[in-house]
Amino acid sequence: MKTAWMVLALALGTMTATAAPSVALFVQNRAGAQLDGQLDAFQDLIGTRLSDAGFEVIRYQDVLDRFVESRGAEAGQELRQAVEALQTAKAEGTVDGPSREASALRTAQLMGADFLVMASLVSLGENQKNVLAYGTQQEIAETTLRMGLRVLEGAQGRQIYGDILAVNEKVQQNQNIQMTPGDLIPTLLDRGAVALVEHVRESAAAMAAATPEPTLASVTFTSQVAGAAVEIDGVVLGTAPGVFQVRPGVHEVRVAREGYATWEKSVALHDGLTLDIPMELSAEGIARQGELEAQAIAREQSTAEAQAKVTLAEGEAKKDSESYIRIEGTPQSLSIGDLDDRDRDSINVIQQK
């Protein structure tokens, strides 16, 4: 049986009066080859119904592309692995222990989702009955589409809803009307999408109603490099050093500044926590620092040379100011010498007539 997965991240816009929760939706075909070609249509129907209900639909591939572009191939691979870990989940089953919860939690963190919704096409079947109506033997064909639905909350990866849903369509068959289950697939998929969206809305609303407004935690970020951008779960809150209000729990923390290696970790944030972020120069930063040091040395040398020229000029000026010309006796005799040597080493200049 071919299994295909499609992932959408959905921003729910009308659930509560406060911030809208986000939903990551996984759609899988487990009903066999008969419905392999219907998965795209099922995805489109769910997306359309959610859009009509006020949801903003974001494609999983777009999320993955942004991860690779902003955080590199390793971050993209981490998201792929987290999603793949959830692909083995049974639609009608429960969370398979801590490892499943960890996979769900990690996926929710990477995709920025408050809820994970896993929907699957389970089976498509037909049941025929012969009835006597108005003196005529008639055949009633009932086609049933069964779907699995699991809803997990993203904060801890716990399952809050899990069930098998069914939608059906009855058709009265006669000599003039003969329909097969395949003819009813578009109608059943649309009705199934409506049912799924309604249960997702109810589950999310029940979760929101039962969960008190979270108390924010004050977390202090310090660093030997001032001005580094602090990003939590993909949202830039400000720069370090600084104190930020965040929701307690495990978050993706990223601190970055040009010229330095990006610091990125999953951190359990709680009130009063202080994170001292070590920032190390990147290869580009080291090269830039070398350029700046070379420029500083060149400036110092230029300043020293300029100062030497000033000192030399001042010395020459002082020497000139302390020199003199003395006339002795008659205008025909001149003595030239330093002020300190007036009585010795004088040079007599005698003008010859």
- Backbone phi, psi, residue 234, to 5°: 85, 0
Mean of the pLDDT values across residues 6-26?
Answer: 59
The residue to which tokens 């920032």 are assigned? 279
Q: How many domains does the chain have?
A: 3
Closest CA to 42 of 164, 170, 162, 145: 145
Q: pTM for this one?
A: 0.55
- For residues 71 and 206, membership in a common domain is answered with yes
Q: What is the mean pLDDT of the chain?
A: 75
pLDDT digits (tens, 9 = 90+) for 100-124: 556 677 777 777 778 888 888 999 9
Of 177, 210, 243, which one is at a domain's C-terminal end?
210
237-291: pLDDT as tens digits: 899 999 999 988 888 899 998 888 899 988 888 899 999 998 888 888 687 777 7
Q: Are residues 166 and 54 in the same domain?
A: yes
Query: Alpha-carbon distance 285 to 236, whole Å?
Result: 22
- 251 and 199 within one domain: no
With bands split at pLDDT 50, 70 and 90, how would you rate the model's confidence at 179?
A: low
Q: Assess whether 238 and 335 both reside in one domain.
A: no
Q: Are residues 202 and 232 in the same domain?
A: no
- Residue 186 within any structural domain of the chain: yes
Other C-beta atoms lying within 10 Å of the C-beta of residue 328: 13
Tell whether 150 and 89 lie within a shared domain.
yes
What is the bridge-based pairing of β-strands 136-153 and 56-59? unpaired
Alpha helices for 117-166 (secondary structure H): none
Asked, for residue 34, whether it belongs to a domain, the answer is yes
- Percent of the chain at pLDDT > 90 equals 13
For residue 182, being part of any structural domain is answered with yes
Query: Are both 145 and 272 inside the same structural domain?
Result: no
The mean pLDDT of 169-196, rounded to a whole number, is 78
Residue 290 lies in a domain: no
Residues 333 and 238 in one domain: no
- How does pLDDT run across 37-81, given as a tens digit for each residue? 898 888 888 877 877 777 776 666 777 777 677 767 776 777 777
Range of the domain at 52: 5-129+138-210
